[in-house]
Chains A and B, each alone.
Chain A
């Protein structure tokens, strides 16, 4: 393969040069166990605590409220199971949404087998929950509201501040899965009344295998990983020092350049959306046009199937993703696309393009140029398109 045009930044990102610079010495020179007593190890421990400060500062949290984990899925699992267990005597009802990441949905389903009741809030065609639905779902035994900050497939950003306010007014703990949002949109956990927040390193130019969970002071939580006294006794495992240092650096640089970078990506995103929608018939944007992550594009193409689009794009070095059944590893298309009201047959033909800081305008041009003939080629092969044309004529 010659050149790669990487448009799958919601799946993972390239580790940024400044992060690589910062972390490499924690593999080779400062490789010590931060719990060890000798002087060199103390330096390693300092690096971990410095990273914690950086993460805390980025989200207006206290350093004691940041806990490092192995990634977004662990943070989600810990938050939900840990709260469910810690507050089980208060109630066993949890409110979430139909469009959460599987790390949240499958954790909730697991809790259902343990006697918890889960309310899955529906979303409108833009992927937004209704605050009225949320208020109506609240019960005396509701212990947790968990709503994702921004959706990984369609990029819709939820009204997190309003949700936080409602939760706080009712004395219910509010967790948000901010894996796609952290480092991409401004987040102030105090202002938004967030009690717990999950984030992941590799979605913001840090390495894979590191994440964090923000736990507001005063929130009780049961441990998920038992063992040593790391992370103030709440999460055992020798610290992933390079990962943690990388996460700190990545969050710091994301926040330093956020406004500028967000604007740049938003412009590129809108240009790609408009370019595709104007060049190709029978396609539409999934998710909200305004309340949307700056780098997310999700378009459905009628009469064609997503995996076929991806395979042909791959021939041109273009990396994207899709919500089709064939790419989800099951026979069902994306639960998110179904939840926003797409019928099955239309949910199969979606393409997700997610931008990042390394994407250039030239790459956007390349994508806009290569995609239309690919869709046309697949439509010429599609019996659904043939049927549509015949009906149109007839």
Chain B
């Protein structure tokens, strides 16, 4: 098997699948054209991430990194949440095959997109957070041929 046991565990038994009805922030990243879309929901109160859920269209690594990213962010302050990089997600999963590293980048971006959404909704600025490039908001159509 090309995946580590941890990756397979998070793929077979993904943690935090689902939606949060009254999410504080929602981030959707990726593109169906390249085969991965991640949508992450965060519940934030008093600057702390209380809950995180996800829905993902994609390969085993995409599901596993979504699962791990939501696990890592739960209970973190916003400042700590920003420190969850793609490397952190990968390390927590005992690594990914080289061709799947982009899935961990997408997971990081999904977290950032959800935090960005939270910041926008609340009119605040999160220091050190930039709008993720692969952000696709709910109301926009997927990018067409120009991707």
A residues within 8 Å of B by Cβ?
Answer: 303-308, 311-312, 315, 324-326, 329, 331, 333, 343-345, 348, 380-386
**Chain A residues with CB under 8 A of B86:** none
Query: Chain A's nearest CB lies how many Å from the CB of B134?
Result: 13
Q: How far is the CA of A344 from the CA of B116 in the complex (A)?
A: 28
Residue contacts A-B, CB under 8 angstroms, 27 given = A303-B57, A305-B35, A305-B36, A305-B62, A306-B59, A307-B60, A308-B59, A308-B63, A311-B8, A311-B11, A325-B34, A326-B35, A326-B58, A326-B60, A331-B35, A331-B102, A333-B35, A344-B33, A380-B17, A381-B14, A381-B17, A381-B55, A381-B56, A383-B37, A383-B57, A384-B32, A386-B39
Find out whether the CB atom of B59 lies under 8 angstroms from the CB atom of A305: yes
CB pair B57–A326 under 8 Å, yes or no, is no
Contact status A382-B57, CB under 8 Å: yes
B32 CB contact (under 8 Å) in A306, A315, A345, A380: A345
Shortest Cβ gap from B35 to chain A (Å): 4
Q: B59 to A324, Cβ gap below 8 A?
A: yes
Q: Which of chain B's residues have a CB closer than 8 A to the CB of A325?
A: 34-35
Residue of A nearest to B33 (CB): A344
> For the complex, what is the distance from the CA of A305 to the CA of B31, rounded to whole Å?
12
Contacts of A385 in B (CB 8 A): 57
- Asked whether A305 lies within 8 Å of B19 as measured between CB atoms, the reply is no
With both chains docked as a complex, state the minimum distance between the C-beta of B84 and any C-beta of chain A, in angstroms: 20
Q: What's the nearest-Cβ distance from chain A to residue B36, in Å?
A: 8
Q: Contacts A305-B58, A311-B60; is A383 near B28 (CB within 8 Å)? A: yes
Assembled-state Cα–Cα distance A382/B39 (Å): 9
How many B residues have CB within 8 A of the partner chain?
Answer: 28
Q: How far is the CA of A270 from the CA of B90 in the complex (A)?
A: 43
Given the complex of chains A and B, what is the CA–CA distance between A383 and B53 in angstroms?
Answer: 12
Q: Give chain B residues whose Cβ lies under 8 Å from the Cβ of A303.
A: 57
The answer to whether B34 touches A344, judged by C-beta atoms less than 8 angstroms apart, is yes
| Chain A hits for B11, CB < 8 A | 308, 311
Least distance between B9 CB and chain A CB atoms (Å): 12
**Docked complex Cα distance between A304 and B35 (Å):** 9
B50 CB within 8 Å of chain A: no
Q: Which of A324, A326, A331 has the most CB of B within 10 A?
A: A326
Q: Which of B33, B61, B99, B100 gathers the greatest number of chain A CB atoms within 10 Å?
A: B33
Chain B residue nearest to A381 in the complex (CB)? B17
* Bound CA span A292–B72, Å: 49
Q: How far is the CB of B37 from chain A (nearest CB, A)?
A: 5
A181–B8 Cα gap in the complex (Å)? 36
Kindly list the 6 A-B residue pairs having the minimum CB-CB distance in the complex, ordered from nearest.
Answer: A345-B32, A326-B59, A307-B59, A344-B33, A383-B39, A383-B55
What chain A residues lie within 8 Å of B62 (beta carbons)? 305
Q: Is the CB of A381 within 8 A of B59?
A: no
When distances are taken between beta carbons in the complex, the residues of chain B under 8 Å from A331 are 34-35, 102
Quick check: B35 and A348 within 8 Å, CB to CB?
yes
B contact residues around A308 at 8 Å (CB): 11, 58-60, 63
| Contact for B57 among A311, A333, A344, A384, CB less than 8 A | A384
- Majority DSSP secondary structure for residues of A touching B: helix
B125 at the binding interface (Cβ < 8 Å):
no
Shortest Cβ gap from A333 to chain B (Å): 7
Q: Chain B's nearest CB lies how many Å from the CB of A131?
A: 30
Interface centre among B36, B58, B142 (most CB of A within 10 A): B58
Q: Is B129 an interface residue (CB 8 A)?
A: no
Pair B34/A305 contact, Cβ less than 8 Å: no
Residues from chain B with a CB closer than 8 A to the CB of A345 are: 32-33, 35, 142
Task: Tell me the nearest residue of chain A to B28, going by C-beta.
Answer: A383
- CB <8 Å contact, B55 and A348: no
CB of B90 to closest CB in A, whole Å:
16
Q: Is B12 an interface residue (CB 8 A)?
A: yes
Looking across the interface, which residue of chain B has its beta carbon closest to that of A311?
B60
- A305 neighbours in B (Cβ, 8 Å): 35-36, 57-59, 62
In the complex, residue of chain A having the shortest beta-carbon distance to the beta carbon of B30:
A383
Closest to B39 in A: A383
Among B32, B62, B142, chain A packs the most CB atoms within 10 A around the CB of: B32
Q: Residues of A contacting B56 with CB < 8 Å?
A: 381-383
What are the residues of chain B within 8 A of A315 when measuring CB–CB?
A: 12
Chain A residues contacting B34 (CB-CB under 8 Å) are: 325, 331, 344
Establish whether residues B19 and A324, one from each chain, have CB atoms under 8 Å apart when the complex forms: no
- Known pairs A325-B35, A344-B32, A384-B37 / 19 extra A-B pairs, C-beta < 8 Å: A303-B57, A305-B57, A308-B11, A308-B58, A308-B63, A311-B8, A311-B60, A324-B35, A326-B58, A343-B33, A344-B34, A345-B142, A381-B14, A381-B57, A383-B38, A383-B55, A384-B32, A386-B19, A386-B39
Given contacts A304-B57, A305-B58, A311-B11, contact A381 B63 (CB under 8 A): yes
Q: How far is the CA of A130 from the CA of B19 in the complex (A)?
A: 48
A373 CB to closest chain B CB (Å) equals 14
Min distance, Cβ A141 to any Cβ of chain B, angstroms: 33
Give the distance to chain B from A160, nearest Cβ to Cβ, in Å: 34
